[in-house]
Amino acid sequence: MASQSSDTRGPLTRFAVALFPGFQALDVFGPIDTLNMLSKQTPIHLDVLAKTLDPVSTRTDKSGHTAFETIVPTRTFADYINASANGSNGNAKDNDIEVLLIPGGGGTRDPDNIEEVVDLVRAAYPRLRYLLTVCTGSAVAAMSGILDGHRATTNKLAWDWVIAQGPKVNWVRRARWVTDGNIWTSSGISAGIDMMYAFVGDQYGADTASKLAFASEYVRNTDPDMDPFAGDGTNGVKKA
Amino acid sequence: MASQSSDTRGPLTRFAVALFPGFQALDVFGPIDTLNMLSKQTPIHLDVLAKTLDPVSTRTDKSGHTAFETIVPTRTFADYINASANGSNGNAKDNDIEVLLIPGGGGTRDPDNIEEVVDLVRAAYPRLRYLLTVCTGSAVAAMSGILDGHRATTNKLAWDWVIAQGPKVNWVRRARWVTDGNIWTSSGISAGIDMMYAFVGDQYGADTASKLAFASEYVRNTDPDMDPFAGDGTNGVKKA
C-alpha cells in the first residue's frame, strides 16, 4: 500500500485529535471512525488530546444541549507541546504527531474553552505534516494565525462568525473541503467524513479509501468543489 | 413541534445507547450527533449504558485496531434492567428509557462481550417505545429473539454471519434501513445516520429532520429502499 503523496517520510502513522468542551461529536467520530478502520491494516497511533486527562464533554454549560457524551483523552496539550519543544526544528521525531485534526462545535465560540486549543495549533503546526480541520475547527486554526494567506473553508451556517476570526484568510465558500499545502479544511460537520476519505486516498491510495467507504456503506462526495450547502438555497443539489 | 407519530404518549425525550467493547464509533456518533443537535430545541435525555461505569473502548484485544477511542458511560445495564423490573407492565415510567439504540462493530462477534447486551435488549424491549439498531447491532437484537418474525436489515459485508444469528428473522438485503412496528434496523455503519434522520422526521416532524441535516451539511438518503451496497457490484449508484 504505497503512499500517493510525494512526501518521502513514509506513510503517516501518528494522528491526533484535539478535544475541548463543546466539540461536535460527528466532527470527531466521522473522520476518526475511518482511521479506526484503516488501523486494522495500517498501524496508526491516535492520540486524543485535551487540556487535562479528564473526560471531555460535547456540551458546555452555555451550549443548551441536554443530550451529550464524554470522551476520555489520552494525552494533554501541555505534554504534547512540551515534547515538541525539545525538537521543534521542523523534523518530526519518531514519536511526534504527524497529523492533527481540529474539530468544530459550539465550544469554539467560548474564549475560555478555545484559547488553549489555539495555542496548541500554533505550537504544533511547524512540526506537523498535515493539519486538518472540520467545521468551525477552521476558526480555531484562523485564530492561531496559521491560515493567514491560505485558502480555507468552514461551516456555512457559522460563516460570518468564522471569517471574522481570520480576516487575512482566503475563505472559500463553495467547497466541501479545501486543500492548501499541508492544510486541509472541511465544511460543516458531515463534510469532515468526505475530507477524511479524500485524505486517506491521497496518503494511502484511492483503492484503500474506496474500500473503507464501501465497508462503512458510505456514499462519498469525492468532489471538493461540490457543495450543496454553499448558500444557493438548494439542499443536496448542485446549482447548474 | 408536534409528533408525527400516532402514539399518544407525547414526544420522545428519553434515549439511550448501549456500548460494549469493540463498538463501531460511527454507529453511535452518527445517529447520536443528530440527537445532540436536536436536544438544543427538545429536552432529550441520553443515557450511555454499559456493563460498568468504566470507559468503553471501540477496540477489543482481538479486534486488530491500533487506533481507538474510549467513551464514558452514564448508567450500567444492571441499573437500568433492575429499574425496569419494578414496573415492566408495558407502561413506561416517567424516568424510563423510551428509545434504545444498539450499535454494531467487531465486538458483536465476541460472545464474552455481547451476551450482556443481548440480555439487555431482551429485558428492555417490552418497556421500550422504539428499538433502533445500526449495522451488526441487528445481530445482537436477533440473538435476543425479539426480531423473530420481523423484517430487519444489517451490514452487507457481515451479512452471512448476521443472518445466521437470527434464522427466524425476515432479513431484507436491499435496504438502507427497515422499519417493522417499533423496531428500526439500519444497514452498515453510515446507514445509521440516514435512519436517525428518518426517525427524527417521523417523531418530531419532517421539517425538524431537514433543518438538522442542513445544519450538519449532510446529504441524506431519504429512501429506505435505496441501497447502493446491497451487493449488485455498484458503489453509490442504484441498479436500474
Which of B36, B222, B229 should be substituted to probe chain A, the one whose Cβ sees the most A Cβ atoms within 10 Å? B36
Q: Give residue B189's pLDDT.
A: 96
Residue B3's pLDDT is: 42
Question: Has this prediction a pTM greater than 0.90?
Answer: yes
Task: Count Cα atoms within 13 angstroms, Cβ side, for A155.
Answer: 27
Which residues on A lie below 8 Å from B46 (Cβ)? 66-69
Q: What pLDDT digit, counting tens, does each position of B66-90 carry?
A: 999 999 999 999 999 998 655 544 4
Residue A113's pLDDT band (boundaries 50, 70, 90)?
confident
pLDDT in tens, B171-195: 999 999 999 999 999 999 999 999 9
Q: Is the pLDDT of residue B11 over 60?
A: yes
Interface test with B, best of A12, A33, A189, A232 (most B CBs within 10 A): A33
ipTM for the predicted complex: 0.92
> How does DSSP classify residue A157?
T
| pLDDT score of B36 more than 90 | yes
B82 or A238, greater pLDDT:
B82
What residue spans of B111-171 are helical by DSSP H?
A: 111-124, 137-144, 159-165
Q: Looking at the predicted structure, is the pLDDT value of residue B53 above 90?
A: yes
A238 touches B: beta carbon within 8 Å: no
Tell me, yes or no, if B85 comes closer than 8 A to chain A by beta carbon.
no
Is A211 in the B-facing interface, judged by CB distances under 8 Å?
no
A9 or B207, which is more confident?
B207
The average pLDDT across A87-108 equals: 78
Which member of A40, A217, A235 has the closest CB to residue B65?
A: A40
Instruction: Confirm if A151 and A132 have CB atoms less than 8 A apart.
Output: no
Set of chain B residues whose Cβ sits within 8 Å of the Cβ of A33: 24-26, 29, 189
Q: Does A239 score more than 80 pLDDT? A: no
Mean pLDDT of A233-237: 50
Q: At B91, is the pLDDT very low, low, confident or very high (cuts 50, 70, 90)?
A: very low
Report, as an integer, the average pLDDT of A89-100. 70
Judge whether residue A195 has pLDDT over 70.
yes
**Mean pLDDT, rounded, for A175-198:** 98
Asked if B200 contacts B212 with a C-beta cutoff of 8 angstroms, the reply is yes
Q: How far is A83 from chain B (nearest CA, A)?
A: 21
Rounded Cα gap, residues B125 and B99, in angstroms: 9
Chain B residues touching residue A156 (CB < 8 angstroms): 217
The C-alpha torsion from A115 through A120 and A121 to A123, rounded to 10°, is 120
**DSSP annotation of B202:** H
pLDDT of residue B231: 82
pLDDT at B131 over 80: yes
Q: Which candidate from B39, B67, B210 shows the least CB-CB separation from A67?
A: B39
> What sign for the dihedral angle of Cα A54, A59, A61, A67?
negative
- pLDDT digits 0-9 by tens, A124-181: 999 999 999 999 999 999 999 999 999 999 999 999 999 999 999 999 999 999 999 9
Record: contact B187-A15, CB cut-off 8 A: no
Q: What is the largest CA-CA distance in chain B?
A: 52
3-state secondary structure B20-87: CCCCCHHHHHHHHHHHHHHCCCCCCEEEEEECCCCCEECCCCCCCCCCCCEECCCEEHHHHHHHHHCC
pLDDT tens, position by position, B198-238: 999 999 999 999 999 999 999 999 999 999 999 855 544 44
Residue B174: per-residue pLDDT: 96
Question: What mean pLDDT comes out for the span A32-47?
Answer: 97
Is residue A187 within 8 Å of A156, Cβ to Cβ? Answer: yes
* Amino acid code (one letter) for B100: L
Residues 21-40, chain B, touching A (beta carbon < 8 A): 24-26, 28-30, 32-33, 35-40
Task: Tell me what pLDDT residue A93 has.
Answer: 54
Locate cell 467513551: which residue?
B71
C-alpha cell at A161: 462568525
Minimal Cβ distance to B36: which of A37, A65, A216: A65
